[in-house]
């Protein structure tokens, strides 16, 4: 198969099966965060191009909705195979634009393929109901139908897999899509267009536009042809999209910010907890919405945990993602580094102690040292705000009730984690935590088979699991009379 990074690096938008430039010819530069050098450009599209993409999706929907579930399942199986056949090339492209290590990028591309396969299977299981009728001469049937054109807006931290969770259930359900990847990492998004073409997904089913977030977002929200918006990104932007799409009463799915707590009780297996803490904190250099934002450690093991965790953090190999053995790539840009520095100086000013790291990495650019801060207190900024970087604040607690209360003291409710050896406590704490996802004695829990999503201001809807296709379907009730 193809396996050529350059084949997937499309410097154009895909609208109605054509690779095109912006009407104005304007472009956005795409930068490799590991080198600071330009990789290439993508079109800076706006309202008009987005409208054409929506119209193309709407036209394609007329025939795509009539394909059978089995046909769509087969398309998705082919798409899965094409992704896996080209895993290395897609991973290299991802690392080039996003910065994460090649190993993590391969993992992400593999996860994309896994979501596609999952929804290839789910495509055939969108069952309806035949309900016992209350009338002797009527029958009651409930069916599921694709909602129509969906629009997907995705962030830069998982530029491939965040689209997998949206494009795959859309195709599975029989919807057509307009996709806007993040401007920092557009190539992994545009690569979906090349892949869909290769496996023969009909033109207009998946359209991809890059460019002005505000203009594209406004057209998506106000255009009545779009029936659903699915967004992964910040709570701030999610709220804007919900508000703007109210005028056309669209369905919305929102995967928004998190502020994940990670609780470690005195009775936990401390080495397992450290292992879990490392993945739950430093994956993608701390730039995921399910990354731990706050560690809460019971006082009996606090000092031992901090020491072991800091040692393990120090050992992480920071470097360019494409270099062998790299575990921590650069942050996405300099703004991200400045934000991380702000969190650290705020904590230091309020009595926090940097146990390891705390500074920009000697490699320069946007590389940053894995950082552990002990003596964290609730008045520090990271208690409420998402860090999105390799900084691990460690709070101390005494009782289970106190830990759960601290963990819940946030408007977010995406992922949370806790470590304990006590079964009763495992249930009590799990039931007490107001989060959409809970890892008990596990720090890495995402999988296509399970519903990913948050409560409170972390979002609406679920991606993955059998739930992941529901938001792409409308329920239709049919009453048949005169029997
Ligand atoms: P992050 O902080 O992870 O960059 P954002 O929420 O800012 O998250 O961005 C996520 C996605 O939302 C990106 O594709 C970005 O371009 C897009 N976006 C940002 N602002 C808007 C907006 N006003 N309308 C629509 N999309 C937007």
pLDDT tens for the chain, 483 residues: list them. Answer: 456 778 999 999 999 999 999 999 999 999 999 999 999 999 999 999 999 999 999 999 999 999 999 999 999 999 999 999 999 999 999 999 999 999 999 999 999 999 999 999 999 999 999 999 999 999 999 999 999 999 999 999 999 999 999 999 999 999 999 999 999 999 999 999 999 999 999 999 999 999 999 999 999 999 999 999 999 999 999 999 999 999 999 999 999 999 999 999 999 999 999 999 999 999 999 999 999 999 999 999 999 999 999 999 999 999 999 999 999 999 999 999 999 999 999 999 999 999 999 999 999 999 999 999 999 999 999 999 999 999 999 999 999 999 999 999 999 999 999 999 999 999 999 999 999 999 999 999 999 999 999 999 999 999 999 999 999 999 999 999 999
- From 156, 179, 219, 237, mutation site for ligand 1 pocket: most ligand atoms within 8 A of C-beta: 237
Q: Which residues, other chains included, contact 431 with Cβ-Cβ below 8 Å and sequence gap of 6+?
A: none
Question: What are the tens digits of pLDDT across the range 404-449?
Answer: 999 999 999 999 999 999 999 999 999 999 999 999 999 999 999 9
Atom of ligand 1 nearest to the CA of 244: 24
- From 213, 214, 222, mutation site for ligand 1 pocket: most ligand atoms within 8 A of C-beta: 213
Among 255, 400, 457, 470, the one annotated catalytic: 255
- Complex ipTM over 0.90: yes
Beta-strand ranges (E) seen in 325-463 are: 353-356, 371-376, 391-397, 415-419, 437-440, 459-460
Residue pair 396/297 in contact (Cβ under 8 Å)? The answer is yes
According to DSSP, residue 399 is labeled S
pLDDT of 6 reads: 84
How many Å apart are CA 232 and CA 235, to the nearest integer? Answer: 9
Q: Which residues, other chains included, contact 355 with Cβ-Cβ below 8 Å and sequence gap of 6+?
A: 306, 310, 372, 373, 374
49 included as an active-site residue:
no
Specify which residues 353 forms β-bridges with. 374
How many Å apart are CA 12 and CA 22, to the nearest integer? Answer: 8
* HSE-up (13 A, CA, CB side) for residue 126: 27
- How many residues does the structure list for the chain? 483
How many Å apart are CA 71 and CA 208, to the nearest integer? Answer: 23
Question: What are the tens digits of pLDDT across the range 84-125?
Answer: 999 999 999 999 999 999 999 999 999 999 999 999 999 999
Question: What are the tens digits of pLDDT across the range 322-366?
Answer: 999 999 999 999 999 999 999 999 999 999 999 999 999 999 999
Specify which residues 14 forms β-bridges with. 19, 208
Q: Which protein residue has the closest C-alpha to ligand 1 atom 14?
A: 182
Q: Which protein residue has the closest C-alpha to ligand 1 atom 7?
A: 234
How many Å apart are CA 277 and CA 273, to the nearest integer? Answer: 6
pLDDT of 5 reads: 78
Backbone angles phi, psi at 69, to 5 degrees: -60, -35
Q: Which protein residue has the closest C-alpha to ligand 1 atom 24?
A: 217
pLDDT of 2 reads: 55
Nearest to 232 by CA among 176, 191, 179, 292: 179
């Amino acid at each position: 198969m193809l396996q050529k990074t350059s084949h997937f690096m499309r410097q154009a938008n895909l609208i109605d099966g054509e690779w095109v430039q912006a009407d104005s010819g304007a472009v956005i530069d795409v930068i490799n965060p590991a080198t600071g050098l330009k990789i290439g450009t993508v079109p800076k599209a706006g309202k008009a191009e987005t409208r054409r993409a929506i119209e193309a999706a709407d036209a394609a929907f007329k025939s795509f909705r009539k394909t059978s579930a089995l046909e769509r399942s087969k398309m998705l199986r082919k798409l899965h195979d094409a992704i896996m056949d080209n895993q290395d090339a897609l991973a290299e492209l991802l690392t080039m634009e996003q910065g994460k290590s090649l190993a993590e990028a391969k993992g992400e591309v593999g996860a994309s393929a896994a979501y596609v396969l999952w929804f290839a299977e789910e495509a055939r299981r969108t069952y309806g109901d035949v309900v016992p009728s209350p009338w002797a001469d009527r029958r009651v049937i409930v069916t599921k139908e694709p909602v129509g054109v969906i629009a997907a807006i995705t962030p830069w931290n998982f530029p491939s897999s965040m689209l997998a969770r949206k494009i795959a259930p859309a195709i599975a359900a029989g919807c057509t899509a307009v996709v806007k990847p993040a401007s920092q990492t557009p190539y992994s998004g545009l690569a979906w267009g090349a892949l869909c073409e290769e496996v023969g997904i009909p033109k207009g089913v998946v359209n991809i536009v890059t460019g002005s977030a505000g203009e594209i977002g406004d057209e998506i929200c106000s255009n009545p042809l779009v029936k659903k918006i699915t967004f992964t990104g910040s709570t701030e932007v999610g709220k804007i999209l919900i508000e703007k799409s109210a005028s056309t009463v669209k369905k919305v799915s929102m995967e928004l910010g998190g502020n994940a707590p990670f609780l470690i009780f005195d009775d936990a297996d401390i080495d397992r907890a450290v292992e879990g803490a490392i993945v739950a904190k430093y994956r993608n250099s701390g730039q995921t919405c399910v990354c731990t934002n706050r560690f809460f450690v019971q006082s009996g093991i606090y000092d031992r945990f901090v020491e072991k965790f800091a040692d393990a953090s120090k050992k992480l190999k920071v470097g360019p993602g494409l270099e062998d053995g790299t575990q921590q790539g650069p942050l996405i840009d300099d703004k991200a580094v400045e934000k991380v520095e702000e969190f650290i100086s705020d904590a230091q000013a309020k009595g926090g102690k940097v146990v390891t790291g705390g500074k920009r990495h000697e490699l320069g650019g946007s590389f940053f040292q894995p950082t552990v801060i002990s003596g964290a207190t609730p008045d520090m900024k990271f208690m409420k705000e998402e860090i999105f970087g390799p900084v691990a604040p460690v709070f101390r607690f005494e009782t289970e009730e106190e830990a759960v209360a601290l963990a819940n003291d946030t408007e977010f409710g995406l992922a949370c984690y806790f470590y304990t050896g006590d079964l009763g406590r495992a249930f009590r704490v799990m039931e007490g935590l107001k989060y959409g996802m809970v890892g008990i004695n596990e720090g890495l829990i995402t999988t296509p088979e399970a519903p990913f999503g948050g409560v409170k201001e972390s979002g609406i809807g679920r991606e993955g699991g059998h739930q992941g296709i529901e938001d792409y379907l409308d329920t239709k009730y049919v009453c048949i009379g005169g029997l």
